């Protein structure tokens, strides 16, 4: 396995627990990020993986963690799993080796039919994440190039076959109108998914300009989703959220989950779990998973009450939170800041939250604008050495910084960013050491 993409595939299996099968997709969505990568970006599209390679890599998966297929986490483009010719054969081999390991399948859904859904059911424990995006037949054909225009039948079958699933959609109000988004959410809610996630469009500068949110659209979308959440008894999330604090507020509770049975509600603030006080949403989520009947104290509209959540064989409590930051990362950065004058690199979107976590310190939190991708791209994982080195230099000199702390997600296991540049080059350009940190 000497090719670079093959090495990345091995990492996906062994490190990220991703069952990668194919880069082939059944749709061509107008917002697909793979179409808008800037020149020089190291991404790979190897097509269908050889079946022998998949079989050889199955033992690299961790049976104690959920395995996912169809979700991109590396530079190898992830396609539609159901496009893979040996898809069900792979599932059979997977279940023979890992009979109890949860499996999540990320799918556009347009290759699902009644027979395939019935076949999927026997591979329990399994859940689907359906990238629905639109339900209007004309809009599905126009903006997704979808071969299936009636997605209601798919959702209906998933519901009646009692296969757990969630729904995602990319909101494109300036192309589809707000009513099309509402119709998609309401139709999905009719068939009781575990949750629905609405993504704000993240488009590089070379992408379609009409996909970009206009001034005021972000605030309107937040109110729009909040209003729909009141109308539909399904957890609705808007990603990425604009978080400014670490308050562990419950954003939703999945039906028929341990948290739901215990009486946990949307809006509850987690005060303590088994006597431990969560300092962030990430910690609260971690504490709630794996409970065997312990006490959870919550603040509900100003009053405190105790609930008892028993997860049993469930790997998750069913409580849904927005993801903020593992507070252990904040603690580690604070400790480093006591020894060295630090600059902490972050995306502009994450800046308010990280700045809040490091307030009352001499640590400089530095938001970096993604000029290479441009547009509305605002993810730390898509930052690179070029943008950081160009924007951080004046701040290093002005603030007399002695070290930079970088999000580890910028680099792959070889220590390279998306354009093949490494941390050593950044240290050479800035003149100070750089430390990667995960979380």
Alpha carbon distances (Å) from 82 to 30, 130, 350, 361, 364: 20, 12, 35, 50, 47
In sequence order, what are the residues at sequence separation of 6 or more whose Cβ sits closer than 8 angstroms to the Cβ of residue 142? none
How much is the pLDDT for 333? 96
How much is the pLDDT for 315? 67
Summarize the confidence of residues 174-181 as an average pLDDT: 95
Distance between CA atoms of residues 27 and 148, nearest Å: 10
**172 contacts 188 by C-beta, under 8 angstroms:** no
> What would the pLDDT profile of 225-243 be if each residue is shown by its tens digit?
999 988 888 999 999 999 9
Name the pTM for this structure.
0.91
Mean pLDDT of the chain: 91
Tell me which of 360 and 294 has the higher pLDDT: 360
- The enclosing H or E element of 285 equals helix 281-288
CA atoms lying within 13 Å on the CB side of residue 4: 12
**246 contacts 324 by C-beta, under 8 angstroms:** yes
DSSP state letters, 371-413: TTT-TT---GGG--HHHHHHHHHHHHHHHT--EEEEEGGGS-T
Summarize the confidence of residues 347-357 as an average pLDDT: 93
Chosen CATH of 4-239 out of 3.20.20.70, 3.40.50.280, 3.40.50.80, 3.90.650.10: 3.20.20.70
Question: Is residue 2's pLDDT more than 60?
Answer: no
**403 contacts 343 by C-beta, under 8 angstroms:** yes
> What would the pLDDT profile of 23-76 be if each residue is shown by its tens digit?
999 999 999 887 888 878 888 889 999 999 999 999 999 999 999 999 877 778
Instruction: Please identify, in words, the CATH class of the domain defined by 252-320.
Output: mainly beta
Q: Is the dihedral of CA 426, 431, 433, 434 positive or negative?
A: negative
Per DSSP, the chain holds a count of helices (H) and strands (E) of 15, 15
Summarize the confidence of residues 169-182 as an average pLDDT: 95
- The enclosing H or E element of 282 equals helix 281-288
How much is the pLDDT for 36? 80
Question: Is residue 15's pLDDT more than 90?
Answer: no
How much is the pLDDT for 3? 53
Question: Is residue 79's pLDDT more than 90?
Answer: yes
Distance between CA atoms of residues 87 and 205, nearest Å: 36
User: Domains of the chain: which residue ranges?
Assistant: 4-239, 252-320, 327-437
The values of phi and psi at residue 314, to 5°, are -70, 140
Matching residue, tokens 């390679």 = 53
| Topology classification of domain 327-437 | Rossmann fold (3.40.50)
% pLDDT > 90, the chain: 73
**What beta strand segments (E) does 164-283 contain?**
165-170, 196-199, 236-239, 252-253, 269-273
> What would the pLDDT profile of 121-166 be if each residue is shown by its tens digit?
999 999 999 999 999 999 999 999 987 778 999 999 999 999 999 9
> What would the pLDDT profile of 300-343 be if each residue is shown by its tens digit?
999 999 999 988 655 689 999 999 999 999 999 999 999 999 99
% pLDDT > 70, the chain: 98
């Amino acid at each position: 396995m000497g090719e670079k993409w093959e090495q990345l595939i091995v990492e996906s299996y062994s490190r990220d627990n991703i069952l990668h099968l194919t880069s082939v997709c059944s749709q061509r969505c107008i917002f697909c990020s793979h179409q808008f990568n800037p020149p020089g970006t190291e991404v790979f599209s190897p097509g269908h993986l050889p079946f022998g390679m998949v079989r050889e890599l199955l033992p690299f998966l961790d049976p104690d963690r959920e395995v996912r297929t169809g979700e991109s986490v590396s530079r190898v483009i992830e396609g539609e799993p159901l496009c893979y010719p040996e898809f069900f054969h792979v599932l059979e081999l997977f279940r023979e080796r890992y009979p109890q390991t949860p499996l999540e399948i990320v799918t556009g859904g347009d290759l699902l039919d009644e027979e395939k859904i019935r076949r999927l059911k026997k591979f329990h424990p399994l859940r689907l994440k359906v990238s629905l995006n639109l339900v209007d037949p004309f809009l599905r054909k126009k903006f997704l190039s979808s071969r299936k225009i009636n997605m209601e039948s798919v959702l209906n079958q998933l519901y009646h076959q009692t296969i757990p699933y969630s729904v995602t959609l990319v909101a494109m109000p300036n192309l589809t109108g707000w009513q099309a988004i509402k119709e998609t959410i309401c139709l999905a809610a009719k068939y009781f998914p575990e949750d629905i996630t609405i993504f704000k469009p993240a488009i590089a500068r070379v992408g379609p300009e009409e996909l970009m949110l206009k001034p005021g659209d972000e605030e309107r979308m937040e109110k729009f989703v909040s209003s729909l959440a009141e109308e539909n008894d399904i957890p609705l999330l808007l990603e990425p959220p604009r978080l400014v604090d670490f308050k562990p507020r419950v954003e939703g509770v999945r039906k028929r989950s341990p948290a739901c049975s215990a009486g946990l509600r949307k809006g509850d603030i987690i005060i303590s779990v088994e006597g431990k006080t969560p300092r962030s949403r990430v910690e609260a989520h971690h504490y709630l998973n794996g409970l065997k009947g312990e006490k959870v104290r919550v603040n509900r509209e100003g009053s405190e009450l105790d609930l008892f959540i028993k997860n049993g064989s469930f790997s998750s409590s069913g409580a849904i939170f927005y993801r903020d930051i593992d507070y252990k990362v904040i603690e580690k950065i604070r400790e480093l800041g006591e020894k060295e004058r630090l600059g902490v690199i972050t995306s502009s979107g994450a800046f308010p939250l990280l700045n809040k976590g490091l307030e009352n310190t001499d640590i400089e939190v530095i938001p970096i604008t993604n000029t290479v991708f441009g547009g509305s791209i605002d993810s730390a994982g898509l930052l690179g050495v070029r943008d950081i080195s160009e924007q951080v230099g004046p701040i290093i000199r002005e603030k007399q910084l002695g070290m930079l702390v970088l999000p580890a997600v910028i680099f792959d296991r070889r220590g390279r960013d998306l354009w093949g540049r490494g941390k050593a080059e950044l240290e050479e350009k800035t003149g100070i050491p750089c430390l990667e940190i995960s979380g």
